[in-house]
Amino acid sequence: MDLSIPSPLSKASPPSTFLSSQSHKLPRSPCVHYLNFTSRNSSLKKPLVSRQTLPIRAQLSDQTVDDGFALDDVPHLTNFLPDLPSYPNPLQQSQAYAIVKQTFVRPEDVVAQKIVVHKDSPRGVHFRRAGPREKVYFKSEEVRACIVTCGGLCPGINTVIREIVCGLNYMYGVDDILGIQGGYRGFYSKNTLPLTPKVVNDIHKRGGTFLRTSRGGHDTHKIVDNIQDRGINQVYIIGGDGTQRGAARIYEEVEKRGLQVAVAGIPKTIDNDIAVIDKSFGFDTAVEEAQRAIDAAHVEVESVENGIGIVKLMGRYSGFIAMFATLASRDVDCCLIPESPFYLEGKGGLFEFIEERLKENRHIVIVVAEGAGQEYVAQSMHGIDEKDASGNRLLLDVGLWLTQNIKDHFTKERKMEINMKYIDPTYMIRAIPSNASDNIYCTLLAQSAVHGAMAGYTGFTVGPVNSRHAYIPISHVTETQNTVKLTDRMWARLLASTNQPSFLNCDEAIGGKVCKDTIDLINNMKITSI
């Protein structure tokens, strides 16, 4: 007799049934190689650094031909400088690494992008594992490195700068390190600062960027001319997806000129919207600091009658900060993110939900990501469309718009007395130093970048993939953005925590117009896995 009881979740309506079940497929990368694991005892004699557009085979293990693994490889200086000599890694003489069981990463070590593989699913892409190699392609005394930071502020930038400098100096004996001040413009405006471990000793305790930053100003030819004129042979670029696209262009120009210059990217975005990697640095700090704003809003609205608190958090296209801050807080009644459009009026709309919560609890806290509801805000502002120096669309203030609409609805239409509290902690969160976990994470990113550049890899970015740091082609992290997947369990956990509706019931939306617009909007989005 079968005494099992079906799970109540089997009858639960999915939060976003209108989404296509097909996963987003990335275009084939020109660096993807297919590894055929055919020999257990064989190993690579030199790194797989060919940039052929056709798949090549490499013998690494004992799987069958049909079980090929795709390696999304990163370029190497020997691709266009085949006679480049190699040298023993100075870490062989390092006391710090003397007790490490395996000091050097083997050439055949890879990191899987997918660790959960279903029976009939493809194997998925692999990346080169990050870490020190037995051979390096730069003599320590010949290295002239530079570091540049671009784009918006983010907790942890100074830690990355510090650890690149200390990593180059302490691990590889590099003394010649320059800081490019003011973003990409600093290359050709000659704004530089010599960097030593002493100079950067305590900068990790400060927010912002020690080197200053800017948006835009990318002129590839001027930048590479300056790199060549100054004799720079290692370039470390800290920035978001726009900055990384600029890094890719610098690498391409360096390769075109045949220069021995390693270009390494360190992905930076507080929104956590960089594709492929597990998370971006500064994200943990941002979520932690967002709690202060949410706590303040909760205290305010709990202390008055019909208190409505709105906290606007960062998240231009991705709602990760809002989602994780909501889950961590447990004081939030509703979370609105760009990936999940909503409507205000009618049955199942936001206004109805707010009124129900006010009747039940006499207060409500709403967290809204800055990119949420922009289609509605733009309509009310007559389609204002401006961009910043980096080409990013300037967002209208959804927090103020939402506050005004809620106030008008309840005071004018519903004739209810409410107390509105609006908090925007954006710049407070961006400007603080990184917390303990982000400091450790930034150290790993910086050291991984240093190891990769010294080993001759170029045109790569670094980051954790399934908790293992890897070297990823820059083009791979700029092809798409990481967004909250509404069909993922994490979003379902949030809905279960707040008990908010999905605001996406098409049959009950007024006239169906708003709902159709939201469906069209979602269908045009790039939805990738969290």
Render pLDDT for 258-297 as a digit per residue (tens, 0 to 9): 999 999 999 999 999 999 999 999 999 999 999 999 999 9
SS3 per-residue string spanning 250-276: HHHHHHHHCCCCEEEEEECCCCCCECC
- Residue 91 makes CB contacts below 8 A (sequence gap 6+) with 97, 103, 104, 132, 171, 172
For 120-236, where are the alpha helices, taking DSSP H only?
Answer: 157-166, 172, 185-188, 220-230
Check if the beta carbon of residue 473 is closer than 8 Å to that of residue 28: no
The per-residue pLDDT for 420 is 96
- What is the DSSP pairing of strand 262-267 with strand 234-239? parallel
From 72, 73, 176, 271, the catalytic residue = 271
Average pLDDT, the chain: 83
88 bridge partner residues: 135
Q: Is 271 a catalytic residue?
A: yes
Of the given ranges (189-193, 333-337, 514-518), which has the lowest mean pLDDT? 514-518
* 24 SS3 class: coil
Q: Residue 286 to residues 223, 324, 432, 529: CA-CA distances in angstroms?
A: 32, 10, 9, 21
Q: Residue 359 to residues 246, 260, 295, 305, 471: CA-CA distances in angstroms?
A: 52, 68, 21, 11, 53
Taking residue 124's Cβ as centre, other Cβ atoms within 10 Å add up to 13
Q: What are phi and psi of 87, to 5 degrees?
A: -140, 155
Check if the beta carbon of residue 473 is closer than 8 Å to that of residue 31: yes
Taking residue 408's Cβ as centre, other Cβ atoms within 10 Å add up to 11
Q: Is 12 a residue whose pLDDT tops 80?
A: no
pLDDT digits (tens, 9 = 90+) for 140-175: 999 999 999 999 999 999 999 999 999 999 999 999
Please give the single-letter amino acid code of residue 148. V
Q: Residue 355 to residues 217, 328, 351, 442, 500: CA-CA distances in angstroms?
A: 49, 24, 6, 44, 12
Q: How many helices (H) and strands (E) does the chain have?
A: 15, 17
Of the given ranges (100-114, 143-157, 361-375), which has the lowest mean pLDDT? 100-114
Domains, the chain: 138-278+432-463+472-478 (3.40.50.450), 283-431+500-523 (3.40.50.460)
The per-residue pLDDT for 6 is 59
Taking residue 14's Cβ as centre, other Cβ atoms within 10 Å add up to 14
- Residue 249 makes CB contacts below 8 A (sequence gap 6+) with 218, 220
Annotated binding-site residue numbers for ATP: 152, 215-216, 240-243
Check if the beta carbon of residue 255 is closer than 8 Å to that of residue 82: no
pTM above 0.95, yes or no: no
Residue position matching structure tokens 């390696």? 71
Q: Computed over its alpha carbons, how large is the radius of gyration of the chain?
A: 25
**Centroid of chain to Cα 280:** 4
Task: Using alpha carbons, select from 211, 215, 182 the residue that is nearest to residue 194.
Answer: 211
pLDDT digits (tens, 9 = 90+) for 323-359: 999 999 999 999 999 999 899 998 889 999 999 999 9
Token pair listed for 479 = 């092809």
Token pair listed for 24 = 């987003």
Taking residue 382's Cβ as centre, other Cβ atoms within 10 Å add up to 6
Q: Distance (Å, rounded) from C-alpha 520 to C-alpha 319?
A: 19
